[in-house]
A = this chain, B = another copy of it.
Amino acid sequence: MHQNGILKKEDNFSSWYNEILKRAGILDVRYPVKGEYVWYPYGLKLRNLIYNILRSLMDKEHEEVLFPLLIRRDELLKEKEHIKGFEDEVFWVTHGGSTELDIPLALRPTSETAIYPVFKLWIRSHRDLPIRVYQIVNTFRYETKHTRPLIRVREITSFKEAHTAHASRAEAEEQIKKAVALYKLFFDQLAVPYVITKRPSWDKFPGAEYSIAFDTLMPDGRTMQIATIHLLGENFARTFDIRYEAEDGSSKLVNQTCYGISERCVAAVIAVHGDEHGLILPPKVAPIQVVIVPIIFSGDKNGSGMEEVKEACISLYEALKEADVRVILDDSPERPGAKYYYWEMKGVPLRIELGPRDLNNNSCVFVRRDDFRKTQVSLNTAVPEVKKTLDDIQRHLYARAKEKLASNIINIEDSKMGKMVEMDELRKAVRNSIISLTLCDNESCGKELEDTLGVSVLGEVYEDKGVAEGEGSGKKRCVICTRSGSRVLVARTY
């Protein structure tokens, strides 16, 4: 830990993360209820920018709705598998004032059982389909494990959940593909790289036929699930009797999907890009994209030029604002060094320094937050250069993060496998990486692998199989039982 900086995130991610949430002004963790946190203004601005991107992507083919928080106990219990997955995690409202409620009300852990009884009312005919809606809401989980801001919480303050209903399974499966494509676009804008897998049967969403998930790699070598997409098929439709009249007049069950993203997407942005100087925010989501720091020495005997510097800074500030850049001018009385430190902590992608000498050359100095590279830039072209540089920072952050993820996926060759012998190697490999290995379909083999290594099976890679395939083209053999299997990703997870 150097004087003003914080830990390196790879050395102690937990401490780094907590420190940065506080010092960059993201969350106050001192709220006196476990697993609940307070969003500071700066953190909330970041969250809002991220969710605005998500909202604008969703709005293209979904309609935003808003359902109530409180779900009647009897509705929540209707779908047997679903409630099994959530029963230990539900907060229950049992009293209004001093009156005991007739029917306890759950704080939504997710909204299937709030929304689907209403879908039953909304859907009459094939002409009402497809329905594609989403909402951004607070949801609640009674987490008994160690909680962690944005990652494992009791109140997810901003859960984006989408729910769709279709006339056929083929259309529902088509929607799954669209949702995957949409989430890719979203994480591309956050510059957060991901692997996409189909979760093993024992880890799917309670009530779903199958679940697709996006995971990213955190600095401590564990993966974090950042998005999930579920094919519900007719399961919930059967439970909630959601039917439509088909063109031929027959009554049919709808086919459903749902997919969600929580504020873990904010945690991912912080964790993936930050460094020992603080946050590094991708320009597309940075509340402040550019900070202008006038280089003015108050003790300067020869005070001449100071007014001109201030004026040049103001006019650059105005020009950038005009060009829709989120810019601030830090003309506080702090020393420049203190300002650098402060705005680096906040992750502002680009700093512009402008002093008397720069002004004499009709120029300013760009300092990038991603690599601290300095460039002299003419004031005449400063505005387009800012735009170009922000784009470049966005690209560079993503490329760097993708490379890091790719270099941390280790392919375990089938030929090297053999039950007892290789477990130590696997254990070592999985400490900081995602590993790709062959596993058969049996839950018992999956569970044995998970227990032995202390990992989770993320599942088969959903697309871009390239990242996870072993090199050999021979028959793939399960790392546990050596029977025929297929390639899966495995990692320590959050």
Interface residues of A (CB under 8 A from B): 28, 30-33, 36-41, 44-45, 47-48, 63-72, 75, 87-99, 104-105, 107, 114, 117-118, 121-122, 133, 138, 140, 142, 144, 154-155, 157
Contact = CB atoms under 8 A, between A and B. Distances in A.
9 contacts: A31-B118, A32-B117, A33-B71, A37-B68, A38-B68, A89-B97, A91-B96, A93-B93, A93-B107
Q: For A44, A92, A144, which residue has the most chain B Cβ atoms within 10 angstroms?
A: A92
A118 B30 contact: yes
Given A94-B92, A133-B41, A157 B66 contact: yes
A98 B38 CA distance: 27
List the 7 closest A-B pairs by CB distance, nearest first: A96-B142, A36-B68, A41-B63, A39-B66, A88-B97, A92-B95, A94-B94
Contacts of A64: 41, 44-45, 48
Nearest to A87: B97
B94 A65 contact: no
Does more than half of chain A's interface fall in helix, strand or loop, or is it mixed?
mixed
A70 B36 contact: yes
A45 B59 CA distance: 11
Contacts of A122: 28
Copies in the complex: 2
A85 to B, nearest CB: 12
Contact of A138 (B33, B44, B97, B138): B138
B67 A41 contact: no
B33 A105 contact: yes
Contacts of A70: 33, 36, 154-155
A72 B72 CA distance: 23
Contacts of A155: 68-70
Nearest to A97: B88
A92 B154 CA distance: 16
Given A30-B118, A117-B32, A118-B28, A65 B92 contact: no
B97 A33 contact: no
Contacts of A65: 38-41, 44
Given A33-B68, A99-B142, 4 more contacts: A31-B67, A36-B69, A41-B63, A44-B64
A44 B66 contact: yes
Contacts of A31: 67-68, 114, 118
Contacts of A104: 95
A263 to B, nearest CB: 10
Contact of A92 (B38, B89, B93): B93
B98 A91 contact: no
A37 B118 CA distance: 11
Contacts of A39: 65-67
Contacts of A90: 96-97
Nearest to A63: B41
Contacts of A28: 118, 121-122
B94 A95 contact: yes
Nearest to A74: B32
A190 B138 CA distance: 28
Given A91-B96, A95-B91, A72 B32 contact: yes
Contact of A75 (B32, B47, B87, B96): B32
Contacts of A92: 93-96
Contacts of A138: 69, 138
Nearest to A39: B66
Q: For A28, A38, A48, A121, which residue has the most chain B Cβ atoms within 10 angstroms?
A: A38
Contacts of A133: 41
A164 to B, nearest CB: 14
Contacts of A71: 33
A117 B41 CA distance: 17
A132 B104 CA distance: 37
A72 B157 CA distance: 18
Contacts of A44: 64-66
Contacts of A38: 65-68, 118
